Amino acid sequence: MDFKEQVVVITGAGQGIGQATAYAFAQRGSRVVVNDLQRETAEATTRTINERGGQAIAVQADVADEAAVRAMFYQAQHHFGAVTTLINNAGYVPFLPLMDYTAAIWDKTMAVDLKGIFYCVQAAVPQMERRGGGRIVNIASVHASATLPGTSAYAAAKGGIVSLTRTLALELGPKHIRVNCISPGAIETDALKAYFDSLPPEESEARRQYLLGWHPLGRFGQPDDIAQVALFLCSDQAAFIHGSEIVADGGCLARLF
């Protein structure tokens, strides 16, 4: 399916990786639904796309709210026709030791990072079936494979996304819906900044340099590095890639010590 035929819902697209992905699809002629919890950032992203000659609408919705997700997909179909492509990107990451967690923080992480995907997939699949197939890309993380202290719920949720991607591939493949996930490494967005800001000021810069040293390419990723992988997975060039985890981490996970 050509990008011009795709109607793409991208969650958490008001900034960061989601925003870069929205720009990348719009540039290729897809109709893009820019979702975010923050109305202003979703609208600003949409404005930029439309000013550049693309086609986008903003939909403020919390992916952890089933009714809001259903309303978003209804709005998407009403505006652009049935959805063909879903990028599950919205994420929440608290940084604190497990012993300091409350049940509420744990539940919020699972609700946004994992249950939100369940709600979005359930709402999207009937529309994709009407289009004869679709593509789903879930944004997981290298934290599914190797992690850091202070990220327990996030790492558990991201590991869950990789597993969920495989189950969805088995269930949705017969409907011609391809499902894959991307595990980004450290990407320079507000989420990475929040990690460094969560550390005592005297540790923050040292930690940044230490983590950079783990990257054989000598840099952190940029949001567009991940947007390009999402584009590829939704292109016809990736027609036989299904149920896969694509790691895009600048070589970080390749290192043993």
Ligand X SMILES: NC(=O)c1ccc[n+]([C@@H]2O[C@H](COP(=O)([O-])OP(=O)(O)OC[C@H]3O[C@@H](n4cnc5c(N)ncnc54)[C@H](O)[C@@H]3O)[C@@H](O)[C@H]2O)c1
For ligand X, the binding residues (CB under 6 A) are 11-12, 14-18, 35-38, 41, 62-64, 89-93, 112, 139, 141, 184, 186-187, 189-192
User: Cβ 145 to ligand X, closest distance in Å?
Assistant: 11
Task: Please say if 154 is a catalytic residue.
Answer: yes
Q: Which long-range contacts (CB under 8 A, 24 or more apart) does 2-6 make?
A: 2/29, 2/236, 3/28, 3/29, 3/30, 3/231, 3/234, 3/235, 4/28, 4/29, 4/30, 5/84, 6/30, 6/31, 6/84, 6/85, 6/135, 6/234
Q: How many helices (H) and strands (E) does the chain have?
A: 9, 7
Closest to ligand X by CB, 35 or 180: 35
User: Cβ 211 to ligand X, closest distance in Å?
Assistant: 10
Closest to ligand X by CB, 37 or 121: 37
User: Cβ 195 to ligand X, closest distance in Å?
Assistant: 8
Beta strands in the chain (DSSP E): 7-10, 31-36, 55-60, 85-88, 134-139, 177-184, 245-248
Which of the residues 23, 119, 154, 195 is marked catalytic? 154
User: Cβ 94 to ligand X, closest distance in Å?
Assistant: 12
Closest to ligand X by CB, 1 or 161: 161
Residue nearest to ligand X (CB): 16
Q: Are strands 7-10 and 31-36 parallel, antiparallel or unpaired?
A: parallel
Closest to ligand X by CB, 1 or 85: 85
Give me the active site residues, please.
154
